[in-house]
Structures are given as C-alpha cells and as structure tokens.
Structure 1
Amino acid sequence: MPFLLTTALLTSTLLSSCNSTPAEQSTTDFTTTQADQGKKGKKGKKGKKSKGEAVELNKVGDLEEVRESSGLAVADTPGTFYTFSDAGNPPIVYKVSETGKLLGTLRLSATNYDWESISRDNQGYYYLADAGNNSNDREDLAILRFRPKTPNQVDKINFSYADQTEFPPKKGDRNFDVEASLWHQNQLYLFTKDRANSSTSKVYTLPDQPGTYKAKLLTKLSIPGQVTDANLSPNGRRLVLMGREEMFVLEGSSLADALKATPRQISLKGAGQTEGVVFTDDNTIYISTEQGDLYKYEF
C-alpha cells in the first residue's frame, strides 16, 4: 500500500524523483510539505505546512538474515553493502546485495556493546561506531577501524566528549548519544541523537587514527527529530541525516557549507524504523530499517 508523507520546504529547491523499474520493487508514494521553523527552539510550536510535489521511495528487498539493521555502508565489491545488528547481538558485519540477500559475514574481534553506524574511507578502512549511549552514561565509547580482509585486526579510536562532565548529565542535558557518523577527509564526524528535547543534533569531530581523544564540538544543528544515521554524497555537497521515519537533507558546495544550511525535513511515515543510509552516487541513497526493509531513493 502506498503511504503518504510530508516534507518541509525550507528552501526553494524541490526534490525530484526517479523511478526504479525492476519487477521485484514496490513503490511508495510521498507528498512533500514544508514546516515553518521560524519559532526554532520553543517546545510545542508547530509551523504552517504547505503541500509540495510528490516523490517516490522504492522498496528493493528485505534483510531477512539481519536482525535490527542499524547502519549501512557501501561494501568492497560493486552492488553490495555492509550492515550489522543493534546492541547485544554478535559482533558480525553482514555483506548483502542491493536486494538485501545475504552474501557473507565478517566476525570482528570486538564486542558489540552498542554498534550504531558504519562508514568507510578512501583507503579501504571501515569505521564502525560503538557509540550508542541511551542513558548518556558510557565512558567506553569507541570507533572500531577494520579492513574486510582482516576482521581479526580491529583498531580502536577511543573517545569522550569534550563538553561532557557528568555521567549521566541531568535529563535536560542528555545529548551525548550517537547513532550517526561519517568519514570525510581524514576526519570522523559524529551526530548526536538528542534525548533531552529532540531539537538539536550536536556535531563532533575525531581523527581517523587509532588512539584516545576528546571529540571536539564543531557545531549544533537545529533538527526537529532524533538522528539515527548520516551519510555524505560522493561529491561532498549533500548531507543526509536519518531520523525515525524521516530524513533531513542539507546541501551546500562542501560539507562545511552543508552544515550551515537549513535542513529540509522529509517524512517517511510508514517506512518503519529507518536506521541506516548510504549514497551509491550523488543522487541515490539506500535506506535500511530495523524491521529488515531495504529502500532506494533518488533525488
């Protein structure tokens, strides 16, 4: 069944859609709308909404062998992805096809405390963020760096937040849970899931080399939701932040510019608990859900 959804038109740029045609794909129709964020930061304020153009999301398959997919990355062979299960599951990275078929597994020599996001660099390393922090009280946060050919060799990038002094902080200050990360130009970018007010995603940076670091606070994004994953287009001009049944799109001439842009909010209501996102080219993303659905979206 098609499900309707809405998106905020915070800029004059509109999303356009491209249809995928394979017979096994199902099409989900969207209606986009724009929420006024002029009252930013105040609880309970709802902006006016206006209708926009319809776009399409295509379901391309099911991750039948993966429990609670929590992240997505392009794998080391064309047309494949890496994904993994949420906290408490075995330390396994699953290799799947573009339709979700299981192709293989990698068992890392690490513990899955709360794996939440995966990204890769241009040298063949993958970075798996063991940074889930629901109660904001963890002091053992780490990024696991590995190569698929040597899963027994896992480097650790241990970190804490430069602005966190209490474990946990007061409930109104609990914004140290990270489910979204990406690699870009020798830096790791971490995006918090605001468990206090669901209105701000803090952006931190880390070096991509093994060691122990204080994550530096780079900026704060006004995001009216909780961020569950992040990915950057290959040209570095479009940043997508996933939320639960929604996504936020920020665009600019570079990642630095995109982080200054006003997010466009796109509702994915009915898609399930959307937890993973990855670009396969500048205009195409794949989205995974904890329920095991795999979607394709074209800008």
Structure 2
Amino acid sequence: MRGGRVLVSSLALGCALSMAATAHASSVIEVDPPERLFEVIGGRITEASGLALSEDGERFYTIPDAGGPAEVYVFGKKGETTAILTLPTRDLNEDWEDIAVVKGKDGRRHIYLADTGDAWFVRRDKGMPNRTEYRLLKFPEPDPSVKGETPVTDVITYTLAYADGGSHNSEAVAVHPRTGQVFFIAKTEKAGAPVRAWSAPATLSQNRTNTLRQIHADLRVQGASGASFSPTGDRLVVRNATHAYVWWIKNSDVAASLRAKPITVELPTQRQGEGIAFTIDGQALLVNSEGSRQAVWKVPLPSEAGAREDTDKQVGASLPPTLAEPAPGTGDNDLLMIIIALVAGTGGLGLLTYHLVRARRTTVS
C-alpha cells in the first residue's frame, strides 16, 4: 500500500499547488498598455528636460537642457507649441534639469525650474572647476490666455548648495504640493553607485544660500532623470530610462516614506526618456523624451500605485476575500499559507479515502 499512499499524497500536493497557483494568478489586476498621446511638434523643443502639467490638464510645460536658451515651452494636447516663456537672461540656464508647477501658500500656482545639473561637459571644455552652487527659479504660472513669445519678469532665484559641499548632478526634482518643500534625486550612471536624495529647507531664502540635506543614502534608481509628486502629494514618482518608481508618502513625511520599497512601473521605449508627471486625476503617469518630434506617453498605474480598480478588468473579482490580492510585500507568505492549508485539507481527504477503501476490502475478504 506504500505506492497507494504516495499516489494519494502526490495527487493532494498537485491539486493544492494547482489551486494555489490559480488563486494567485487570478488576483492579478490587468493594467492598460501605455498610450501614445501625441508628438511634440514645436521646432525649438529638441532637448526637452522635465515635464509638468497645468491644473486643468490642458497645457504641458518643458524646458531645454544644459546651455540652452532660458525659455519654458508651453504646448497643448495635440503637441502644438502655444507659448514660449522667456526669462530675463540666458545665463540663468547653466544646466536646467526639471520643472514643476505647484500652487503656493498665496493660492497662486508657480513654475519651479531646477538649474541643478552639474554642467560637467561644459565646465570641462571651458576648464572650469566642478559646480558646487546651484539655482532654483520660481515665477507665477501665466494665465491660459497667454500665447506666443512672452517675457517673464518676476523671477525669484534661490541659491542652493549641498551640505557636503560637493558637486552633484540632480536631474530629478519635485516640489511637494502641500508643504512646498523641494526634493532632489542625484543621477548616477555607474552601477552600484549610491543614488542620494536631498531636501531643501522647508522655507527657502532669497538672501542666503539654501543648504540641501541628505534624506536617503541610496534610492537604487540608477540614471534618475525626472521626478514628480501626485496632485495631492500622496505619492512620489522617480523615473529612469526604463522604469518609474512610485512611493506612497504618508503624512507628507517624504524622508520616512522613502524607506519603503517602491512600486515599479515599466515605461515605454523612448529615445532618451527625461521627464515625468502625474495626470490630473493621479491615475496615470505622463512621460516625455529628448529629441525632435518625440511623443508624450500616458502610462496607466496599477491599483497598488493608486489607480482605482476596474472590476471588469479584475480576473478574480468574484473570488472570496481569502483569495483576494495580497497586500504589497505579503503575497509570498499568503501564497505559502494557502498551499499549506490546501495540502493539509486535501491530504486529510486522501487519507480518509484510503482508510475507507481498506476497511471495505477487509469486510469483503
């Protein structure tokens, strides 16, 4: 009867594994593929760096990269350039890297420009020392009626320096919509090099250098090129060439929230992916790229990154709660418990069947 016992146990285990795997697979939420929205067709927009969105979602903002003109490009939902905002002097753009549009405490929305790249190639070619002083530029978002080339006059400049006194290349910069605090993520290309995150003072000063202090030693996002907060500030996204990484922000405490593991979202293939922003409803991401006539893509978020669930797309929507999708970070443990429970239950059924058959044979003989 040893062969019979092995057969029963094998069948029980196989059934359990099959049922558990089915339950695990059925809890997956399908996410729509990325959608190519439009090509940016403005002739001046050839090295877009950063991406931001107006409050109504009707206008997009981007900026030129290092050494480019001190201009902000505004384009519509068909990719057409609607306005060019020109800042007072060209030298304000040593190495612009990111842009954000956030409502301030005065109730007005402001555009933030991060002149926080290290301008390494330009400085090397000119024999200049490494950059250790940076700038954050801020001015009111123009009225939607503004069209064409428009000068910007009321620009506030904040001088920045890192607490370690070093030179850093921060291409990903985000402004929290509730607190107004600004955060910086250094771009590192070398594998294994730490990806540091920094924060500016809660209140910026125009009269002295604002010291950026490290809040995370290594985010592990190699090649970070863009960052943005969700409209409500409950999430932070950081992107590189291939993926976006989403952190939930609890109680506006960015430093503490970054200790958690981010949710990874695959991005569409781009020539040189740069900027990233949330859609107005916070349900998807928007990404752009350097180069002429490059597309802006919309990337839907999975439910665990904050998108509302569509029950029509949930394969396991009718499953009981015990087989619902596990909370992030607990899925493997829950799956193991399901397997153990099913093996025990199915094994017990097999053992009962064995004894009944044996008893019947004894009676017959």
TM > 0.5: yes
Question: Following the alignment from structure 1 to structure 2, what is the Cα–Cα distance between the partners of residues 15 and 261?
Answer: 22
The equivalent of 1:177 in structure 2 is 169
Question: Following the alignment from structure 1 to structure 2, what is the Cα–Cα distance between the partners of residues 14 and 201?
Answer: 31
**Which residue identity is paired with 2:174?**
L
**Which residue identity is paired with 1:63?**
V
Q: Would you say the 8 A contact 1:161–1:215 is kept in 2?
A: yes
Question: Following the alignment from structure 1 to structure 2, what is the Cα–Cα distance between the partners of residues 252 and 294?
Answer: 26
Gaps of 5+ in 2: 1-26, 121-128, 143-150, 302-365
Q: Would you say the 8 A contact 2:132–2:162 is kept in 1?
A: no
SS in 2 for 1:98: coil
The equivalent of 1:17 in structure 2 is 31
Q: Would you say the 8 A contact 1:84–1:93 is kept in 2?
A: yes
The equivalent of 2:72 in structure 1 is 93
Task: Name which of structure 1's ranges 69-78 and 239-248 shifts more when overlaid on structure 2.
Answer: 69-78
2:184 to 190, 196, 200: 190
Question: Following the alignment from structure 1 to structure 2, what is the Cα–Cα distance between the partners of residues 209 and 294?
Answer: 32
Task: Name which of structure 1's ranges 155-164 and 256-265 shifts more when overlaid on structure 2.
Answer: 256-265
Q: Would you say the 8 A contact 2:101–2:141 is kept in 1?
A: no
1:114 aligns with 2:95: yes
Q: Would you say the 8 A contact 1:227–1:241 is kept in 2?
A: yes
SS in 2 for 1:73: strand
1:205 aligns with 2:199: yes
1:249 aligns with 2:246: yes
Superposed CA offset, 1:238-289 (max 9, x none): 2211101322222354553541221233443622211011112221221111
Map 1:1-299 to 2 at 5 A.
16-18=30-32, 56-65=33-42, 66-75=45-54, 78-110=57-89, 111-123=92-104, 124-133=109-118, 135=120, 137-149=130-142, 151-165=152-166, 176-184=168-176, 185-197=179-191, 199-207=193-201, 209-211=204-206, 212-255=209-252, 256=254, 258-268=257-267, 270-280=269-279, 281-291=281-291, 292-299=294-301
SS in 2 for 1:95: strand
Q: Would you say the 8 A contact 1:237–1:251 is kept in 2?
A: yes
Superposed CA offset, 1:154-210 (max 9, x none): 111101100135x5xxxxxxxx11001111112111111124445532111113534
SS in 2 for 1:127: strand
User: Would the alpha carbon gap of residues 79 and 15 (structure 1) be closer, same or farther in structure 2, given more than 3 Å must change?
Assistant: farther
Residue 218 of structure 1: how far off its partner (Å): 1.3
SS in 1 for 2:34: strand
Task: Name which of structure 1's ranges 270-279 and 219-228 shifts more when overlaid on structure 2.
Answer: 219-228
Gaps of 5+ in 1: 1-12, 19-55, 168-175
Question: Following the alignment from structure 2 to structure 1, what is the Cα–Cα distance between the partners of residues 47 and 28?
Answer: 32
Superposed CA offset, 1:125-154 (max 9, x none): 111000111539213310011113471121
Residue 98 of structure 1: how far off its partner (Å): 2.5
Highest Rg: 1 or 2?
2
Question: Following the alignment from structure 1 to structure 2, what is the Cα–Cα distance between the partners of residues 178 and 115?
Answer: 10
Q: Would you say the 8 A contact 2:221–2:240 is kept in 1?
A: no
User: Would the alpha carbon gap of residues 75 and 270 (structure 1) be closer, same or farther in structure 2, given more than 3 Å must change?
Assistant: same
User: Would the alpha carbon gap of residues 14 and 116 (structure 1) be closer, same or farther in structure 2, given more than 3 Å must change?
Assistant: farther
Residue 220 of structure 1: how far off its partner (Å): 2.6
TM-score by length of 1: 0.73
Q: Name the structure where helix makes up a greater proportion of residues.
A: 2
Residue 215 of structure 1: how far off its partner (Å): 0.7
Fraction of identical pairs, as percent? 25
> How many equivalent residue pairs?
241
Q: Would you say the 8 A contact 2:267–2:299 is kept in 1?
A: no
User: Would the alpha carbon gap of residues 14 and 127 (structure 1) be closer, same or farther in structure 2, given more than 3 Å must change?
Assistant: farther
Query: What is the CA RMSD across the aligned residues, in angstroms?
Result: 2.4
TM-score by length of 2: 0.60
SS in 1 for 2:217: strand
